[in-house]
């Protein structure tokens, strides 16, 4: 167990809908990273927050947004969902350094 | 061309054999190297982290980095059926915030 928690474990929703994924980092970690894992694209970095501020952006669609709250938990919001957004979404955390510790993921199914 | 290339496998070995995994990368700015293990539908678990050329050993696992050839390897000695998983290499630049992942190699250790 990495100490990173994610909820929900599984989400099933319809196209056009909006969902929110939640992540709590390891105790003491200030950075949260979001990744998307699909069969054809592998693990892709979406966005990083450090102590409440956006620090880096990757291949994140404009329909997606994230934030990190004062208690350091983070939420990833996905809107106007498309079939192609079906994937595993992971969050990872660290305090400093390069190694990142991943949560168990949220499996999103868009029908 | 992807920044990090990894043979997808599957790689099937008998129990007790040595598993040999590798990744190649194209960007010399990559300086920090990690190996993650991912069981089906679970989050990636950090196995090894290294930043210098040469070998690093941890129990049955040995990570090897050759920066001159832009080639990294992971060896698993005395493989067990519980080692059956997908192994992902992940690389971090000296500057920047994200991990760039290989596509993963699926390993199957047969009893």
Across the range A96-104, mean pLDDT stands at 88
Least confident of A38-47, B8-17, B33-42: A38-47
CB atoms within 10 A of CB B103: 20
Predicted confidence (pLDDT) at residue B12 exceeds the cutoff of 90:
yes
The verdict on a CB contact (< 8 Å) between A100 and B49 is: no
Give the distance from residue A79's alpha carbon to the nearest chain B alpha carbon, in angstroms: 24
List the single residue in B with minimal CA-CA distance to A34. Answer: B98
Interface probe for A, chosen from B2, B29, B43, B89 (most Cβ of A below 10 Å), is: B43
**Beta bridge pairs of residue B75:** B20, B62
The verdict on a CB contact (< 8 Å) between B34 and A99 is: yes
Contacts (Cβ under 8 Å, ≥6 apart) of B103: A42, B2, B5, B6, B8, B88
Q: A38-94: per-residue pLDDT in tens? A: 988 889 999 999 999 999 999 899 999 999 999 999 999 999 999 999 999 999 999
């Amino acid at each position: 167990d990495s100490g990173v928690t994610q909820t929900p474990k599984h989400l099933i929703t319809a196209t056009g809908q909006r969902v929110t994924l939640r992540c709590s980092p390891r105790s003491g970690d200030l950075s949260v990273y979001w990744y998307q894992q699909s069969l054809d694209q592998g693990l892709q970095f979406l966005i990083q927050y450090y102590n409440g501020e956006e620090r880096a952006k990757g291949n994140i669609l404009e329909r997606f947004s994230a934030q990190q709250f004062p208690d350091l938990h983070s939420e990833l919001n996905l809107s106007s969902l498309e079939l192609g957004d079906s994937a595993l979404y992971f969050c990872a955390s660290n305090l400093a350094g390069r190694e990142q510790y991943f949560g168990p993921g949220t499996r999103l199914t868009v029908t | 061309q992807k920044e990090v290339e990894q043979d997808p496998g599957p790689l099937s070995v008998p129990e007790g054999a040595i598993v040999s995994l590798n990744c190649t990368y194209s960007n010399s700015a990559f300086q920090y190297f990690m190996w993650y293990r991912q069981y089906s539908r679970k989050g990636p678990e950090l196995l090894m982290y290294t930043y210098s050329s040469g070998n690093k050993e941890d129990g049955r696992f040995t990570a090897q980095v050759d920066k001159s050839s832009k080639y990294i390897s992971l060896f698993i000695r005395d493989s067990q059926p519980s080692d059956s998983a997908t192994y992902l290499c992940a690389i971090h630049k000296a500057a920047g915030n994200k991990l760039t992942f290989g596509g993963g190699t699926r390993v199957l250790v047969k009893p």
